[in-house]
Every structure is written in structure tokens, then in C-alpha cells.
Structure 1
Amino acid sequence: MSTIGSFEGFLPVSLKPDGDDQPSERDSLPTEEGSSGRNSAPSRTARQPSVTESVLYPNPYSKPHVTRKYFVTRPGAMETAIEDLKAHVAGTMDEVIRGFWLLTEVDHWNNEKEKVVAITDNTLLICKYDFIMLSCVQFQRIPLSSICHICLGNFAFPGTSLDKRQGEGIRIFWGKSEDQSLWSRWNPWSTKVPYATFTEHPMKNSSEKFKEICKMSAFTAKLVPAVQNAHKTSSEPGRGKGVMVSTEPILIETYTGLMSFIGNRNKLGYSLARGSVGF
């Protein structure tokens, strides 16, 4: 009487995880026992090379379905933002924009905010742009001659901070942080902060176009000489000393960081597709 499960002649098969396309020893069919004396060569299964993601999408840094979630990557979105800023500058300022960048601003509570940054001959423009409605929500204008300090370096946090970020950024001062009031320092929605901190946008490697406009080194290389030139030509007292450029850690004083932990994990500071709400 045969016993269930006792199948002679069958070999155990090891399951491979998804995505493991490397050939193994079991990819070749085993020869039957007693056939070692035959002259025929062992037959092998022909494995067709799988179409991997690197073939379909040559960019090794980002996946298309992730890229499409950001509205700024939709066709024409960034171009519309640039044209809107050009029209605003032409209508309100007698200046020429020398460059545009798409960066992430990190506020004094470590909240990420998607920003379009532009530099003219005399002004640093920081625009919060809604890439869903294609409209400028907030516009900040900083005279280049008022910028006194540009700091480059890695981010640093207090030891008890919950949401610590890695990487490097740039902090631009147009006033002394010591002069900042206690209310604006501890108010997460305060706009009376005498500096702005930027880092690279998450979509910096999504395409060649965004690789250029999200590059922080290119923004720094344009900003520093523009500020230096603005100081030289400024007639305001004390502006002839120039701007100080330093390399040191950029401190973000968030001691708990619960709000930024939730907001940054859900990308609340970006124009992002949130998925379907209805059924």
C-alpha cells in the first residue's frame, strides 16, 4: 500500500524570490538514473533573458510611477511656472531673471516645502507655486544686497530630535538669527525668519531637465557672485564689506520634530497626487 507523499524520483525545488533572474544549478534538467552511460549530452532548458526595468527605463535613479506623482514633472508644469514668474517680474520689477531652480526649502521647524527660486541682478525670488492649479501661492522678494551670510554644509539636529535628515544644504541669511523674536522662532507658521534653507528637490534625478534645475551646486555658483556684485554696486551703508561664505553644519532646532516627521513622510509640502478618494 502506497503512502501519500512518498513520490520517488522527484527532486525538491527551491523557490526563488521575485526579481531573482540569476541562473541557478537547477535551471538545467537532471538526467535520469542509469543514463550516465549514454553518449547524448544533457539537455538544458533555454532561458530567455527577462526584460528588466533598466531596459524599459534607462534612468537608474527613479521609477516612472513615482515620478508621475509629483505634479511638477507633468508636461508643461515647470514651463508654466517659469512663464508666470517672468510675467510677474516684468509687471512689477524692472529686472531680468538670470536663472530658475526647483529646490526644497527646509523651514525652521524642518518642514519641507517645494519652491521655485529665481535670481535677478538685484533680487532673490522665492516662490511657493501650486503645480496642481498652476498658480503662485506665495512670493518672497529678498534684495541681494541685504544677504550677509551664505552657509554651506550638512544638516545638524539636537540629540532628542525625532525627524533628523541626512544630506547637505545651503542657508542664506539676510539678518542676524540673534535678532529673531522668540515668537517667530517657536511659531511653525512664522514667515518672519531672517534666513532661508534649501536642499535638492526629490525629483533631481528624474530627467536631464530636472537634473539641471534641481542642482544645488549650480544655484550656489550663480548666487554667490550675484550677491557679491550687488554688494559692490550698492549705495547702502555697510554693504561694501561683501558677503561671508562659510562651510559649517546647518543647525535645525527641532527638539521633538513630530509635526515635520508626519508632514515630511507624507510629502505634504509638495504638489503631489494623493490617490483616489472616492470609490
Structure 2
Amino acid sequence: MTSVNDAAALDDHDDKPAATGFDGATLQIGSEANSVPEVAFSNTRDSEPVGKSNSNNSAQGGESLSRNRPGSMMGRTSVRSTSSRTSVRPGVIQDVSARSYYCYKTSHFERAVDECKSIVKEDLDGAFKSAWLLTEIDHWDFEREKIILLCEQSMLVAKYNFINESLYEYKRIFLHIINSIGIGDFSYPNSSLMPERRHGGIQVRWDQGTQLSFGQRWNPWCTDIPWITLAHHPLIYNRKENETVTYNVDEFFESLVAATSKVFTAKRPNDTLRVIEGPITIESYASPASLVFNQSGIGYFRDRNGVSF
């Protein structure tokens, strides 16, 4: 078990970002109770913003960024996302077999969430709000299946074995220590030999602008990296899967921004939460190990033709 706390201080475009600067948008959420968030879209080729809006539902002027929600968190039911900001281009990712995933078997996810609720401490985390099953991409570019619990004061990231139905480990991240939340397409540095990522996701950071130490950067098992990168669970790409809320990172992003901005109002009234829309760089240059690991789906608990791991 690991915990992140105050003492730690704490689709259409898949091209790699140009090296000349950031091409995206920044949404700053103020901490005033009655304030309306402003969205200012900036184009690095021009000195003036290309658009500005005070609406939570839309923002004009972004070339490829949409602020439409893919579904509703009300009641936890929705149909396939048609306006996801992090979904792949049509036809790029093939349909996946849902039956091979243990989490998809009857009531497995519900039982997993019930067990993971045991780690929620109301005096620390506040009331439990909702749960998602997403993909975590670590700092060495390895993908793993994780259950995300969102509470009033924190988010908990749990590694759960769906085969023997047991909780392996978890990490607690308090919402008030978060300094930025990014959403957009994943990309690698221009000098990277890694193939293009075919989807996007979100990145939650509480690093306060500091750089990783040598030990953190070159230790693939390091557990105190001051950010987390999340993407859709592969089950969202199953053609027959209509319940996409559970596996949809966009839905989690919307709920996380709302919960964190509420915490900022109470605990950090003089600070601002930065919500950034634009490319998210994964600093991997040449990693055959992660390619084999990810393409084989080793980070997910599956039935592999009679062999389960």
C-alpha cells in the first residue's frame, strides 16, 4: 500500500506535437464559489487567443478540441461515446473480445468495487462518489488495469486481481494537492523510436513543477511518481458494449475536475486548478519490453485460451 499525502508535496489528429511549443488550451478553474470557469483557446502560431467562452458546455475556436461530454454520469448508464475527446480514429483499434476479460464476467466488477470500498476512510477521503475501470500508463510506458475510486476528498487507484478476486495494492491521492489535470492525445518525443499511440487520455499531476530524480526516472518499479496517466479500458472498444461509462476516461475526467474544483474552494481558496487540453507526452524513446507487454495485454487479467493471468 502506498499513499500520496501533503508531506510528499504532493479524432482526428494523432500527429506528434511540434517542437516549437504547446498547441492546446488551458482551462483555469477559480476557487470562488460563484465563479464561472473561462476557457481560453490559444494557437501557438498566433499571438492572440483564437476563441474564448464562459460556457461549461462548449468553447468555440479550438481546431480539434471538443468540450462535449460523451455521456451522463447520472444513473451510471450511457450509450457508446460519439464525442469522446480521447477516443481513437475510426477503424484504428480492433474490436476486443469482452469475454476474455475477467472484469467483464457477471458481477465481477461490482464485487471488486465493494471490496475496494473497504480502503475508503471517510475521515480522510470523505464520502465515496463513484468507480471506474481504466488503464494506467506508468512512467516506463507499461499499461495496467486499475480500479479508480473517486471520493469527496481523494481518488484511490487500486490494483485488483479479478481472477482470485483480491486487492493487491492501492494508492491514495488527495485532491487538494493536485496542481493540474491534462486531457488530450498521447504522443512520444520527436526523437522516440516508439510507434504512434492510437488514442489519448488524461494526466493528473501533483509535482508542483519539480523534475523526477535520477532514481525515480530509471526505476521501473518506482511508486512515488508525482503524476498518474490514465486511458480508456480496452473494453470500451467492444462493438457490443453499450455500458461505456465504467470504462470511459472522459467520464472520469469530468467528475474529477468537478470534485477537485470543489475541494479547491474549501482548502485552497487563493489557488487555481489548471485544466489543460492538448498533447500529453509519454517520455519513452525505445522500449521493446513495454511494446511486447502492452500488445500482449499482460497488464489485464484475462483468460488466454485456458491459461489465466
When normalised by structure 1's length, the TM-score is 0.71
| Structure-1 residue corresponding to 2:85 | none
Which whole-Å CA distance do the structure 2 matches of 1:139 and 1:92 have between them?
A: 18
> Which whole-Å deviations, capped at 9, do the CAs of 1:184-228 have from their partners, x for residues lacking one?
11211111110000010000144233x111122211110001111
Instruction: Pick from 225, 233, 236 the counterpart of residue 201 of structure 1.
Output: 233
Which consecutive unaligned segments of at least 5 residues does structure 1 have? Answer: 1-58
Which whole-Å CA distance do the structure 2 matches of 1:267 and 1:227 have between them?
A: 32
CA RMSD of aligned residues (A): 2.2
Instruction: Pick from 181, 185, 188 the counterpart of residue 220 of structure 2.
Output: 188
> Which whole-Å deviations, capped at 9, do the CAs of 1:115-143 have from their partners, x for residues lacking one?
11111110011111111111111110000
| Structure-2 residue corresponding to 1:233 | 266
Which whole-Å CA distance do the structure 2 matches of 1:262 and 1:163 have between them?
A: 12
How far did residue 177 of structure 1 move? 5.4
Which consecutive unaligned segments of at least 5 residues does structure 2 have? Answer: 1-79, 81-90
Q: Secondary structure at the match of 1:108?
A: coil
| Structure-2 residue corresponding to 1:212 | 245
Superposition map of 1:120-269 within 5 A: 120-158=151-189, 159-176=191-208, 178-206=210-238, 207-209=241-243, 211-234=244-267, 240-269=270-299
How far did residue 90 of structure 1 move? 5.3
Aligned-residue sequence identity (percent) comes to: 30
Superposition map of 1:70-149 within 5 A: 70-89=101-120, 93=124, 95-149=126-180
Higher strand share: 2
The amino acid that maps onto 1:222 is S
How far did residue 255 of structure 1 move? 0.9
Which whole-Å CA distance do the structure 1 matches of 2:302 and 2:269 have between them?
A: 41
Which whole-Å CA distance do the structure 2 matches of 1:138 and 1:154 have between them?
A: 28
Q: Secondary structure at the match of 1:126?
A: strand
| Structure-1 residue corresponding to 2:19 | none
Q: Secondary structure at the match of 2:155?
A: strand
Which whole-Å CA distance do the structure 2 matches of 1:203 and 1:177 have between them?
A: 34
Which whole-Å CA distance do the structure 2 matches of 1:152 and 1:137 have between them?
A: 28
> Which whole-Å deviations, capped at 9, do the CAs of 1:77-111 have from their partners, x for residues lacking one?
10111111223325885632111111101111111
1:110 and 1:254 in contact (8 A); partners too: yes
The amino acid that maps onto 1:221 is E
Q: Secondary structure at the match of 1:204?
A: helix
Which whole-Å CA distance do the structure 2 matches of 1:104 and 1:172 have between them?
A: 14
User: Which structure has the larger Rg?
Assistant: 1
How far did residue 180 of structure 1 move? 1.8
2:188 and 2:194 in contact (8 A); partners too: no
